[in-house]
Amino acid sequence: MTGLGATTPLGGDVASTWEALVAGRSGVHLLEHEWAQELPCRIAAELAVEPSEVLPRVRLRRLDRSEQIALVAAQQAWDDAGLSDDLDKERLGVVFGSGIGGALTLLAQDDILEESGARKVSPFTVPMLMPNGPAAVVGLEFGAQAGVHAPTSACATSAEAISWAADMIRVGRADVVVAGGAEAVIGGLPMAGFSSMKAMSTRNDDPTHASRPWDRDRDGFVMGEGSGALILERRDHAEARGAKIYAVVAGSGLTSDGYDIVQPDPECRGGGRAMAAAIKQAGIDPKEIGHVNAHATSTPVGDMAEVKGIKRVVGDHVVLTATKSMTGHLLGGAGAVESIAAILAIVEGVIPPTINLDNPDPGLDLDVAANEARKVELNAALNTAFGFGGHNAALLFTKA
Amino acid sequence: MAHSRDEIREGLSDILEEVAGVNPDDVADGKSFTDDLDVDSLAMVEVVVAAEEKFGVKIPDDEVANLKTVGDAVSYIEKG
């Protein structure tokens, strides 16, 4: 792992995001938009820095918001890794996902179709709404020719992307891979849909306390938007060019529940198998894993199921945190941004807090960095991500 | 309402700047949309739709292929 990039509700880059995470700041607020006023859930974690502050105007109008932020995060990661154009592009890959794709473009262009007719529909509609759009845009930006892939597994998307990226390098298809995910679907229809499932918090009168993983009074997730990007690089390639190495992707595991389209398996069997697969691939003792950046979205069933899985597979010695308490749920961007948090926890020796954990669920029998960051020496940390459809991903990072 | 060639060129220039980021100083009758101004086929679709709206003309799709240069477009719109 040689480069990190992000744009999140907490900051327009990795440094500002990390600073806010460690400080325990919430990125959630009440939505002032007119379209939000009749929704059951009127709170969300919108981007701290608008893409329009970073990208040129003409570029913006041809990209869906998810593609814009994918580009912003990927460019940061690329620059952070110190990569340049002299890289062998036939050995450069991209794995970049989105959970939902360009839903806001789809809705906006459908309005244009209804109101003004087919001829007024933007010729960029299709490349803007296709779910592989963020991957394609990032791939084009850097001229990647080893393969551009777009996993789509709902909220497990960008963790799955990192796993695929590691596999691309392991099997020898690429030397460098830009991996990550992006999501930007804070809009009426997506929010109404999640609300109809009763998946979202309705704590509209108290936005910063709405995302509260593992707390007794949690009532659903809070939607966020954002993107995270990571540069994965074959170790000898990174060493040969003297790149700084943040951490190692020591193992990854991908499984599926075979249980329900949206309900998590209450025993977290599939999630547990993903964690076990990551640990097995890394070939380390689970006791060496000091920290799990958990998927924990602040939903009643999922949060506690995951705790069972972690306890069973990793053990009861780990310190958990749920950074979604601050960022909200970035859906397809979650796994990448949370992997960055897990990696920086190793690098900095600090686990960001889980805010709003005032009254822990009685079933929470693992240690959580509750409400304050925790200084801990870490050799290995795990990130988990689970998605609607029963997709499970676990990523195990170790000290460089 | 009829437009002068200068008015049309200026209006096109505004559209080209808005949808494709073309520098207004580069817009002249002899300039090719694709070769000189870097307006690709998708951007050209946007230019045509915006020009139809601005100048109150119809530019059929099979006509667009003949509009190679800014001057071609100005002449077509001038004829109305």
Asked if B46 and A120 come within 8 Å (Cβ–Cβ), the reply is no
Q: Which of A87, A48, A245 is nearest to A174 (CA)?
A: A87
- Give me the torsion for CA of B38, A133, A149, A163, rounded to 10°: 130
Task: Find out whether A270 and A259 touch, Cβ atoms under 8 Å.
Answer: yes
Close Cβ partners of A187 (under 8 Å, ≥ 6 residues apart) = A35, A103, A104, A107
Asked if A58 and B42 come within 8 Å (Cβ–Cβ), the reply is no
pLDDT category at B80 given cuts 50, 70, 90 is confident
First to last CA, chain A: 9
Amino acid at B53: E
Chain A residue with CA closest to B61: the answer is A119
A41 as an active site residue: the answer is no
Residues of chain A with Cβ-Cβ distance to B45 below 8 Å are 123
The pTM score is 0.96
User: Out of A155, A268, A291, A391, which one is annotated catalytic?
Assistant: A155
Q: Which of B19, B38, B39, B59 to mutate to test the interface with A (most CBs of A within 10 A)?
A: B19
User: Out of B40, B61, B62, B72, which one is annotated catalytic?
Assistant: B40
Which of A57, A58, A123 has its CB closest to that of B42?
Answer: A123
Tens digits of residue pLDDT in A138-174: 999 999 999 999 999 999 999 999 999 999 999 999 9
A295 as an active site residue: the answer is yes
pLDDT category at B2 given cuts 50, 70, 90 is confident
3-state secondary structure chain A: CCEEEEEECCECCHHHHHHHHHHCCCCCEECCCHHHCCCCCCEEECCCCCHHHCCCHHHHHCCCHHHHHHHHHHHHHHHHCCCCCCCCHHHEEEEEECCCCCHHHHHHHHHHHHHHCHHHCCCCHHHHHCCCHHHHHHHHHHCCCCCEECCCCHHHHHHHHHHHHHHHHHCCCCCEEEEEEEECCCCHHHHHHHHHCCCECCCCCCHHHCCCCCECCCCCECEECEEEEEEEECHHHHHHCCCCCCEEEEEEEEEECCCCCCCCCCCCHHHHHHHHHHHHHHCCCHHHEEEEECCCCCCHHHHHHHHHHHHHHCCCCCEEECCHHHHCECHHHHHHHHHHHHHHHHHHCEECCECCCCCECCCCCCEECECCCEECCCCEEEEEEEECCCEEEEEEEEEC
Chain A residue with CA closest to B60: the answer is A119
Token pair recorded at residue B10 = 């200026």
What's the confidence (pLDDT) of residue A47? 98
Residue B1 has pLDDT above 70, yes or no: no
Close Cβ partners of A193 (under 8 Å, ≥ 6 residues apart) = none
Asked if A123 and B46 come within 8 Å (Cβ–Cβ), the reply is yes
Chain B residue with CA closest to A60: the answer is B19
Residues of chain A with Cβ-Cβ distance to B43 below 8 Å are 123
CB proximity A140 to B under 8 Å = no
CB proximity B21 to A under 8 Å = yes
What's the confidence (pLDDT) of residue A248? 98
Where chain A has pLDDT below 50, the residues are none
Label residue A385 exposed, middle or buried (CB < 10 Å: 0-12, 13-18, 19+): buried
CA distances from A382 to A2, A27, A140, A165, A303 (A): 18, 24, 31, 17, 16
What's the confidence (pLDDT) of residue B19? 92
As for the ipTM of the complex, it is 0.89
CB proximity B10 to A under 8 Å = no
What's the confidence (pLDDT) of residue B3? 85
